[in-house]
Amino acid sequence: MGSAKIGCKIDEVRVDGSLRALARDLRTFSVMGLDAVEIPPHGLDVIKCGRLDPRRSREVRRILEDFDFTYTLHAPNPLNLMDRTQCELHVEVLRATLEFAECLGASPVVVHCGRYVPEEGFGHVSSAPPSEADCRAMRDQERYWLDKLAGEFPAITIGVENARPYCYYSPYAYGESLRALKAQVEAVGRPNVGITLDIGHAHMSAGHHGWNFLEEVADVAERVRHVHIHDNFGGSVAPTEKQQTHQIPFGRGDNHMPVGWGGIPMKAVLSLLMPAYTGILMMELRSRYFDYIEESKWNLECLLEGLAEPRGGSVPMVFAGA
């Protein structure tokens, strides 16, 4: 079913700036036989106030060079090229991320799609949604900076990631819609700007907005340059709902569970992407599932090869509620 590599992210909260923790988790990933690892510069204190820390970058690079992984990067989560108050700082954070990727020879770099209202502002900014004119201006702003930075770093692919929905606040980001994200990427018009398809986020958005999940994925497949794969049941939550232990019993939340544990029709999704997609299937699991990364890898391999049914807590359903 294709020749995609399988990888896993380094969890930024789990390592929390510790290079010992980074090396420890990389050793574990090596024993598991993973092909690729996604590195969070924000989890390693590589970027400070919009600037790359050269000494810290060298320290991280020395550790990474001890392993035979393909490396990708995930830009800091709050980065928002549509920010209207500190746009220059957000641009500098992304530029520093791209400089770090260049230092490591890492690609793609994952960037969250722009948000009209950032998650950090939920409940603290005006509850009135921005006007359509404001939304257009913010998308224009994001396109401008994506175009400029992609031109500065032509050897690095920038993968703009689709967003998860939130009860009471959606649509807070145009990228809740894969088709809108595709339109934005195509408007940038750079060969090194594409989509990071977060399968879990797309599953939640389809349920929340009443879209056809598989049709959405099929429509953007040709623009996908990177994939985040993890499982959930599709139910959306309010931003104040943080505890996974309270969400999972009700099939709600952005669970980031091991592949095969939720309700996403993974085989159908992969069949839409493969074999044309030959990039990395990056497992993006919450740190609470660290002990099940190898099982998630096995389940994914089985789906790719069609050898067996997934193990674990798989439930044959797709949450259809909003």
Is pLDDT at 92 greater than 60 in this prediction? yes
Question: What's residue 311's pLDDT?
Answer: 63
Is pLDDT at 152 greater than 60 in this prediction? yes
Is pLDDT at 296 greater than 80 in this prediction? yes
Distance CA 10, CA 26 (A): 8
State pLDDT tens for residues 231-270: 999 999 999 998 999 999 999 999 999 999 999 999 999 9
Tell me what the mean pLDDT of segment 147-164 comes to.
99
Tell me what the mean pLDDT of segment 127-132 comes to.
79
List the alpha helices (DSSP H) in 170-292.
178-188, 199-209, 213-220, 244-247, 266-273
Which residues pair with residue 280 across a beta bridge?
5
Question: What's residue 319's pLDDT?
Answer: 36
Question: What's residue 310's pLDDT?
Answer: 58
Distance CA 271, CA 180 (A): 22
Could you tell me the pTM of the whole model?
Answer: 0.93
Q: Tokens 């996403």 sit at which residue?
A: 264
Distance CA 26, CA 157 (A): 23
Q: How far is CA 120 from CA 32, 83, 124, 240, in A?
A: 36, 12, 8, 11
Which pLDDT band holds residue 321 (cuts at 50, 70, 90)? Answer: very low
Question: What's residue 308's pLDDT?
Answer: 42
Is pLDDT at 278 greater than 50 in this prediction? yes
Higher pLDDT, 80 or 321: 80
Which pLDDT band holds residue 284 (cuts at 50, 70, 90)? Answer: very high
Is pLDDT at 309 greater than 90 in this prediction? no
Tell me what the mean pLDDT of segment 119-124 comes to.
80
Strand ranges for 61-157 from DSSP E: 70-74, 109-112
Query: Chain-wide mean pLDDT for the chain?
Result: 94
Domains and CATH numbers, the chain: 5-119+130-305 (3.20.20.150)
Return the SS3 of 103. helix
State pLDDT tens for residues 33-68: 999 999 999 999 999 999 999 999 999 999 999 999
